[in-house]
Amino acid sequence: MVQGLQRLENQDGSAEWPSHICDAALAVLDRAADRKPIDDDLLQVAGRQALKQEIINTVQCITSLELNDLLSRQSWWSRFTGATLEERLKFEAASKKVSRAFAVLEQVSKDTDRRIALMRAERADLSASLASLDGAIDYGQTLVSQPAESDDFLFARFQNRLANLITMKAANTMAIQQFKLAEEGLAALNDRFRQIATVLFPLWQQHLFAILNAPGRLARNHKPVEEFLTCHDALKTYFIAEARS
C-alpha cells in the first residue's frame, strides 16, 4: 500500500512518502489537509432565498393588479365623471409595478445562475480533494498499523493528524451533498421561472397592452379581456404556488 502511494506522489515530482512515521510523514498528511476553506456563503439561507423572496414580492404586485375595478367603471356616468380614466390610470400604474418586479426577478435569476455555477465549482473542488484525502488516509492508516518505529509523542501527533483527515473527509462528503441539494433546488426553481419569463409573461404583456390600448368600453366578455384574465390568473397561480412552496 505504501509503495503504491509513493509512486502516486512521485508522479507530481515530489519526494517519496516516508515508509515510517516521522516529520516528513506528518508533512504528507498536512499537505493533504491543505485546501482553501469551504465557501459557506454559498450555502447561506439568505443568499439561496433571494429568488424566492423576489417571487413573493412579485405575487404582491400581481395580486394588486385588479381588472375588475376598471371593468366596473365603464358606464356612461363613469366616463362622464372621469372615473373610467382614473381607474385606467390606476390599472396601468399597477401593471408597471408588475413589469418592474419582473425586471428585478430577471436580474436575481441571472445572479442565481452565477451562484449555481459557483456551487458546481465548489462541489467539483471538494470532490477532487476527496481523492487526495483518500490517498493520505490510506497512507496514514498503513503506517499506524505497522510496528512503531517512532517515539510515542510523534506517533500521537501522527494519529491526531490522521483523525483530522478522516473528519475532514466526512465533512467534505457531507458538504458535497449539501451543495448538490442546494444547487438542484435553485436550478429547478430558476428553470421554472425562466419558463414563465420567456413564455407566459410576454404573452401576459401582449394581452395587457391590448386592454390598455382598447378603444371604447371594456366588458368581461370581450375577447381581449377574457384572454388577459386567463393569462393573468395563470401567472398569479404560478407565483402563489412558488411563494408557498
Could you report the per-residue pLDDT of 177-207, keeping only the tens digit for each? 999 998 998 899 899 888 888 889 999 999 8
pTM of the entire predicted model: 0.73
Kindly state the average pLDDT of the residues 204-213: 88
Lowest mean pLDDT among 49-58, 77-86, 188-197: 77-86
Kindly state the average pLDDT of the residues 80-100: 83
Mean pLDDT value across the chain: 83
- φ, ψ dihedrals at 157, nearest 5°: -60, -40
CA 104 from centre of chain: 16
pLDDT of res. 241: 85
Kindly state the average pLDDT of the residues 146-171: 88
C-alpha to C-alpha distance for 42 and 111, rounded to whole angstroms: 12
Under 8 Å between Cβ of 17 and 6: yes
pLDDT of res. 148: 66
Kindly state the average pLDDT of the residues 233-242: 88
Kindly state the average pLDDT of the residues 69-74: 74
* DSSP H helices in 36-151: 45-48, 50-64, 67-71, 76-81, 83-144
pLDDT of res. 222: 85
With a CB cutoff of 8 Å and minimum separation 6, the contacts of 130 are 169, 172, 173, 176
> Higher-confidence residue: 12 or 20?
20
With a CB cutoff of 8 Å and minimum separation 6, the contacts of 46 are none
Band (134; pLDDT cuts 50, 70, 90): very high
Residue written as cell 429568488?
Answer: 51
Kindly state the average pLDDT of the residues 10-32: 77
* DSSP state, residue 216: S
pLDDT of res. 177: 93
Band (60; pLDDT cuts 50, 70, 90): confident
Band (165; pLDDT cuts 50, 70, 90): very high
9 pLDDT more than 70:
no
Under 8 Å between Cβ of 119 and 182: yes
pLDDT of res. 1: 40
58 pLDDT more than 80:
yes
Segment 6-15 long-range contacts (CB within 8 Å, at least 24 positions apart): 8/135
155 pLDDT more than 80:
yes
- φ, ψ dihedrals at 41, nearest 5°: -60, -30
pLDDT of res. 150: 66
221 SS3 class: coil
Report which of 36, 12, 37, 15 is spatially closest to residue 24, judged by C-alpha positions.
15
Radius of gyration of the chain from its Cα atoms, rounded to whole angstroms: 31
138 pLDDT more than 90:
yes
